[in-house]
Chains A and B, each alone.
Chain A
Amino acid sequence: MTTITRRNVLKSGTALVGGMAGILATGRAPAFAQGTTVHWLRWNDFVPASDQLLRKELLPEAEKALGIKINLETVNGNDLQPRVTASVQSGSGPDLIMIFNNQSALYAESVVDLSDLAEEVSSKEGGLYKYSRAVTSDGKKFNSMPWTIVGAMNAYRKSWFEEIGVTKFPETWDAYYDAGKKLKAKGRPLGQAVSHSFGDPPTFVYPLLWSFGGKEVEADEKTVAINSKNTIDSVKFMTAFYKDTCDEGGLAWDDTSNNRAFLSQTISSTLNGASIYIESLRNPDKYITEKGVPLKTDILHAPLPKGPQGQFGLHTFFSHMLMSYSPNQKAAKDLLRWAHTPANYEKWFISQKGFATPPTAQWESHELWGADPVMDPFKVAGRLGQAPGFAGPAGKKAAEALTKYIIVDMYAKAIQGGSAEDAVKWAESELKKIYT
């Protein structure tokens, strides 16, 4: 038990006076009053090593540098939006919240403008990609601070494709369909989630729609344009493609399912971030092909094929919102600035091993990209992405359509047995509720 003695009181008093004297002498107040805790909510990273790095190394450093405490909380990506709603409505919760794609537009009234920080990072790092700006800013205000892009590429089994005579990943949807048919006949289907999950389903169906010339709305953000021959063609293609080439469980998959299916070698190709490949690198002895070689040597990446109207990609975008209810806005912003400092960000970026592509151009020349040619296609994900909502802006309405999974459900409805025309009509009526 500590006893209070006169000596102790004197000692602490002296220390206090000494501390005050120090502050006065340097002319600087301590960064924050003791006890400032920044609550940072992020997803459970698909590269777990990065979360460990944050917890064990980066955040303790940040705490020291900024004089604050940081409470990092990680949840399933699909639970982030519900958390935002609950926090905003109750006026309390995490100070910084990670959000996907253009969803921060939905919360524009409840977040702090991060334009200054975004422009600061942009000017230092060779400019934010057009895509990064499109999904986080309405042109006047940055609703969230661009953090990273998880490029969506097809991870595929090189040897299995070779066995059916395909030595280069198919460049068109038709060629991919033919290859998939042969693979499924051999019990090695393609795998694709078409469900309510934030990552894989939208990153597949939006580019498919665009590559057939379909679009949800005109550039005026008012005229719903989904009900077109092009869209119907894409839905018809998808229905046949799904039935003839894909593992039909995909209607109930989430973003983790194709990782498990690929790693357990039940599917031959799937649109994904690089997490499958990275996992196979992490555990080379665990994942062995039927020929006895490590699975990592049999995985390659390629972009989604071209359609009649071009080739597109939608890459899952990650950003952080600084919530306006937060009593610690300055501390939280300083933490974001700290995390975006190149020396700190680089450590996190390297831990991602290419799963994450930074939102600014400068990082394209980082040595990480040269280290492993399998990861090369991800380098330019930020350049090639098109934002949801095309041909309109990626604003609040596009975010609502995305969050309601209308485009995903349009394809899922047709796959389940409805006619393509009915599915498109349904999507049109849903989109009209949002856009008009």
Chain B
Amino acid sequence: MAIAETQVYMPPAPRPRLRLLEDERWLALVLLVPTLVLLGMFIAYPFVRGILLSVTNARVGVPGDFVGLANFYKIFNDGIFRTSVYNTFVYTGVTTVFKLALGLWLAMLLNRNFRGKAFTRAFILLPFIIPTVLSTFAWKWMFDPTFSVLNWLLYHFGLITGRINWLGDPDLAMISIIIVNIWRGVPFFAISLLAGLQTISPELSEAAAIDGAKPWQRFWHITWPLLLPVTMVVVLFSVIQTFSDFQIVYVMTGGGPANATHLFATYAYQIGIGTGLLSEGAAISLAMFPILFLVVIIQLLYIRRVEVR
């Protein structure tokens, strides 16, 4: 048998374009391009269009002329807009506090060992998984002025004598949408915080317990500080989403009764898309931007401070 001639494999010299990609800066740019294109198309372009629209008097089918800040002047003098701003803050504030408290509580419970842990964890996510519009419709039926199953239950347990006008009373309607938002948002908090909890070494708690720390002290001095960065990110996401929430209010109350439950997004939709006053609708949406921007800056700065510490 003849001994085969040994051949040294020589890869072909890379073409110059590929060589360019070996430079990390170029590679980074290439990898970022798809994201940039997507962000540009779906975030930057609509945002710039929104700004351009808000300084015109455009309405549906009519491009409109430049009117400066007239639309902003108009909405700041609009009672319904002011109600929407107030509602948005109340809605975001109240729901975030409850979602955080309940989510954290749930996360602590789920962090323990018990039978059916995996199943329970998956089950908890249901409100978050079901399409919001569908679940909100179910809630709408539960709060229905005439056929509310909640009223039926309360009545049959002897807790009420008359009907509770859930969606017909401005305050109760606000409470109703807050309840639904909390119901929908708690799983997100719970699962995210649970992930955070699992990164905390149990040894820390055990050591503290040996030193005589009570459960509350262990939570306050160990768990909470270590969980804070995760909590801040979760709260940040939640605030942004809740602030610009649309589906729950749109389905449950449509902003009613008599505009009492409008948020920024639903009022912008009613004016811009419903009535067709596109420029005013754009102005209402944009009015949300500086507030959200501020929230994001403050929270990101805070997160950075916590991380550095």
Chain A residues with a Cβ under 8 A of chain B: 78, 81-82, 84-86, 88-89, 106-110, 194-196, 247-253, 257, 260-261, 264, 266, 400, 403-404, 408-409, 412-413, 416, 426, 429, 433
Contacts and interface: CB of A to CB of B under 8 A. Distances in A.
Contacts of B79: 426, 429
A266 B146 contact: yes
A155 to B, nearest CB: 16
A412 B61 contact: no
Interface of B: 59-62, 74, 79, 144-147, 163, 165-170, 173, 253-260, 269-278
15 contacts: A82-B269, A85-B272, A89-B60, A107-B276, A194-B257, A196-B255, A251-B168, A252-B145, A252-B166, A252-B253, A252-B256, A252-B257, A253-B168, A403-B276, A412-B256
A260 B275 contact: no
Contact of B168 (A84, A196, A250, A404): A250
B276 A85 contact: yes
Nearest to A408: B258
A140 to B, nearest CB: 17
Chain B contact residues: helix, strand, loop or mixed: loop
A264 B146 contact: yes
B168 A252 contact: yes
Contacts of A413: 258
Chain A contact residues: helix, strand, loop or mixed: helix
A429 B81 CA distance: 14
Contacts of B173: 252
A266 B59 CA distance: 43
Nearest to B171: A416
Contacts of A195: 254, 256-257
A252 B165 contact: yes
Given A196-B255, A249-B168, A261 B146 contact: yes
B274 A109 contact: no
Contact of B60 (A84, A247, A249, A426): A84
Given A85-B274, A107-B276, A249-B163, 13 more contacts: A85-B272, A106-B60, A195-B254, A196-B270, A248-B165, A249-B165, A251-B258, A252-B145, A257-B145, A266-B146, A403-B274, A413-B258, A416-B169
A110 B168 contact: no
Q: Which 10 A-B pairs have the closest CB atoms?
A: A249-B145, A110-B61, A252-B167, A412-B258, A251-B168, A251-B257, A252-B168, A109-B61, A409-B258, A82-B273
B57 to A, nearest CB: 13
Contacts of A416: 169-170, 257-258, 260
A400 B257 contact: no
Contacts of B169: 251, 416
B168 to A, nearest CB: 4
B145 A250 contact: yes
A251 B165 contact: yes
Contacts of A82: 269, 273-274
B273 A86 contact: yes
Nearest to B61: A110
B274 A81 contact: yes
Nearest to B258: A412
Residue among B167, B272, B276 having the largest count of chain A Cβ atoms under 10 Å: B276
B63 to A, nearest CB: 10
Contacts of B258: 194, 251, 408-409, 412-413, 416
Contacts of A84: 60, 276
Contacts of A252: 145, 165-168, 173, 253, 256-257
B284 to A, nearest CB: 13
Residue among B59, B60, B271, B272 having the largest count of chain A Cβ atoms under 10 Å: B60
Residue among B74, B166, B260 having the largest count of chain A Cβ atoms under 10 Å: B260
B143 to A, nearest CB: 8
Residue among B256, B269, B278 having the largest count of chain A Cβ atoms under 10 Å: B256
A403 B59 CA distance: 14
A144 to B, nearest CB: 14
A400 B275 contact: yes
A202 to B, nearest CB: 14
